[in-house]
């Protein structure tokens, strides 16, 4: 008995795992699987590609560069050094009506919102409404943490400081009649940004939270609590334009949502009154406005549709090649 027990103790377990005999599935990429697979994937991709392409084509986009570099551009006068409160009018006409909600973007190019130093130059605790950080902003905000009088800046940092401050008014010109097109600024920022990530201090009126020895960002004309005088819920850190700006763009050429035009734009002549404040020429930047409607896939983007079509056709093509190879080498032999 003793001997047997000893033998059993030393003998390795005879389990599937220890003997490397776990039941296993051995997939094999054979022509019989790959060719139909490629055909299916190809067809699916072509289908998606066609849908994407058509959708993207149906999206209307109007884009105007208003930087004012060229002599004949309407905002050329505003680009001078000493021009303040300059307003220029960009006239355009629409031949095909924009249906559905029209989104009004502003775009900047050669603007690096993704600089590392720039992108950390904010204080999330401040922006979360924590009033203790109003007095001592994070060092990451430097050099926009304190002003020259050593007063803390709220909201601190480069991002807030460089907030886009051109404003636009869109007029529909119908003969001599000028109608202001209503622009909706609600819901242009992420819902979570507006409701959770950014918060105003729970002090009413909001002004009092800021007045305690804080100053507005240096480049701002108005303090944070007066960003939108028409809507008190759109002020402070949860101002929609501020939130849109604070979500930094990924690439140096970007567009950000400015307003929505819920009723669309019918055919007609329009004039966009631009109050030109934001300097971009010093770094060879460009400014533009974009009117676009969106679809289920978002804004106009031809890349996706074309990519799907190309890949889809390549898959189908490859499956045909494989089929030919397969037929050529298989069928004669089977005879």
Partner 1 sequence: MHIYKNEQEPAVRSLGPENLLLKGATLKNTQKIYGVAVYTGMETKMALNYQGKSQKRSAVEKSINAFLLVYLCILVSKALVCTTLKYVWQNKPGQDEPWYNEKTQREKDTNLYLKMFTDFLSFMVLFNFIIPVSMYVTVEMQKFLGSFFITWDKDFFDPEIKEGALVNTSDLNEELGQVEYVFTDKTGTLTQNNMEFIECCIDGFQYKYRDANSELDGLCVADGPVNKVQQKAGREREELFLRALCLCHTVQVKEPTEQNQRDGLDQVDGFVVDSEEPHPPQEQRGFIASSPDEVALVKGAMRYGFTFLGLESDTLLFCKGADSSIFPRVRQEEVERIRMNVERNATEGYRTLCVAYKYLSAEEYAQADAGLREARLSLQDREEKLITVYNQVETGMSLIGATAVEDRLQEEAAETMEALQGAGIKVWVLTGDKMETAKSTCYACRLFQRNTELLELTVRTLEDGGRRREERLHELLLEYHKKAVQDAPPVRAGVTRTWSSATQDYGFIIDGATLSMVLNSSSESSSSRYKNLFLQICQNCTSVLCCRMAPLQKAQIVKMVKNSKGSPITLSIGDGANDVSMILEAHVGIGIKGKEGRQAVRNSDYAIPKLKHLKKLLLAHGHLYYVRIAHLVQYFFYKNLCFILPQFLYQFFCGYSQQPLYDAAYLTMYNICFTSMPILAYSLLEQHICMEVLLDNSTLYRDIAKNAMLRWGPFLYWTLLGVFHGLLFFFGVRYLFSNPALQDNGQVFGNWSYGTIVFTVLVFTVTLKLALDTRHWTWINHFVIWGSLAFYMFFSFFWGGIIWPFLKQQRLYFVFANMLSSVSAWLVIILLILLSLLPEILLVVFRKPRGPHARQLYQSVFPSSCLCCSNAFCCCRRMPSQIAVVTPLSYKHLKERE
Give least dist CB 258 to partner 1, A. Answer: 10
Query: Which residue shows structure tokens 């636009």?
Result: 168
Of 175 and 250, which has the nearer Cβ to partner 1?
A: 250
Are β-strands 286-293 and 61-65 bridged in parallel, bridged antiparallel, or unpaired?
Answer: antiparallel
Give least dist CB 178 to partner 1, A. Answer: 26
**169: which residues sit within 8 A by CB, 6+ positions away?**
180, 183, 272, 273
Give least dist CB 90 to partner 1, A. Answer: 21
Of 60 and 292, which has the nearer Cβ to partner 1?
A: 292
Give least dist CB 176 to partner 1, A. Answer: 33
Give least dist CB 217 to partner 1, A. Answer: 11
Per-residue DSSP letter, 251: S
Give least dist CB 60 to partner 1, A. Answer: 13
Per-residue DSSP letter, 293: E
Give least dist CB 309 to partner 1, A. Answer: 11
Are β-strands 268-276 and 102-109 bridged in parallel, bridged antiparallel, or unpaired?
Answer: unpaired
Assess contact for 101 and 181: CB atoms under 8 A: no
Of 210 and 258, which has the nearer Cβ to partner 1?
A: 258
Cα separations in angstroms, 267 against 44, 93, 94, 209: 38, 7, 5, 47
Partnered with residue 176 across adjacent β-strands are none
Burial 245-275 (b: 16+ CB within 10 A, else e): bbeebeeeebbbbbbbbeeebeeeebbbebe
C-alpha to C-alpha distance for 66 and 177, rounded to whole angstroms: 24
Of 17 and 176, which has the nearer Cβ to partner 1?
A: 17
Of 74 and 144, which has the nearer Cβ to partner 1?
A: 144
Which helix H or strand E contains 332, and what residues bound it? Answer: helix 302-334
Give least dist CB 303 to partner 1, A. Answer: 4
C-alpha to C-alpha distance for 53 and 307, rounded to whole angstroms: 10
Collapsed DSSP state (helix, strand, coil) of residue 192: helix
Of 118 and 173, which has the nearer Cβ to partner 1?
A: 118
Of 207 and 300, which has the nearer Cβ to partner 1?
A: 300
Of 172 and 295, which has the nearer Cβ to partner 1?
A: 295
Cα R_g (the chain), whole angstroms: 30
Alpha helices in 233-286 (DSSP H): 240-246
């Amino acid at each position: 008995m003793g001997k047997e027990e000893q033998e059993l103790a030393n003998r390795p377990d005879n389990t599937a795992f220890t003997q490397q005999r776990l039941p296993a599935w051995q997939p094999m990429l054979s022509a019989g699987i790959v060719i139909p697979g490629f055909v299916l994937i190809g067809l699916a991709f072509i289908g998606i590609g066609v849908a994407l392409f058509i959708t993207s084509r149906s999206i209307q986009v109007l884009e105007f560069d208003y930087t004012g570099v060229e002599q004949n551009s309407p905002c050329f006068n505003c680009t001078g050094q000493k021009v303040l409160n300059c307003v220029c009018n960009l006239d355009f006409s629409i031949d095909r009506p924009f249906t559905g909600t029209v989104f009004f973007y502003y775009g900047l190019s050669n603007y690096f919102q993704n600089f590392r130093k720039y992108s950390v130059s904010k204080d999330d605790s401040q922006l979360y409404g924590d009033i203790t950080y109003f007095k001592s902003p994070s060092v990451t905000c430097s050099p926009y943490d304190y002003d020259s009088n050593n007063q803390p800046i709220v909201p601190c940092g480069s991002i807030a400081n460089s907030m886009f401050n051109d404003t636009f008014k869109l007029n529909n010109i119908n003969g001599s009649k000028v109608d202001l097109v209503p622009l909706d600024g609600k819901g242009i920022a992420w819902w979570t940004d507006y409701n959770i990530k950014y918060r105003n201090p729970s002090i009413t009126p909001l002004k009092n939270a800021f007045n305690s020895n804080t100053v507005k960002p240096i480049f701002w004309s108005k303090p944070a609590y007066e960003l939108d005088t028409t809507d008190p819920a759109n002020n402070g850190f949860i101002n929609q334009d501020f939130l849109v700006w604070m979500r930094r763009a990924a690439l140096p050429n970007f567009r950000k949502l400015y307003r929505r035009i819920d009723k669309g734009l019918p055919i007609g002549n329009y004039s966009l009154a631009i109050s030109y404040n934001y300097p971009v020429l010093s770094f060879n930047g460009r400014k533009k406005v974009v009117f676009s409607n969106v679809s289920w896939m978002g804004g106009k983007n031809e890349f996706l549709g074309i990519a799907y079509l190309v890949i889809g056709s390549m898959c189908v093509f490859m499956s045909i090649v494989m089929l030919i190879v397969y037929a050529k080498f298989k069928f004669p032999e089977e005879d």
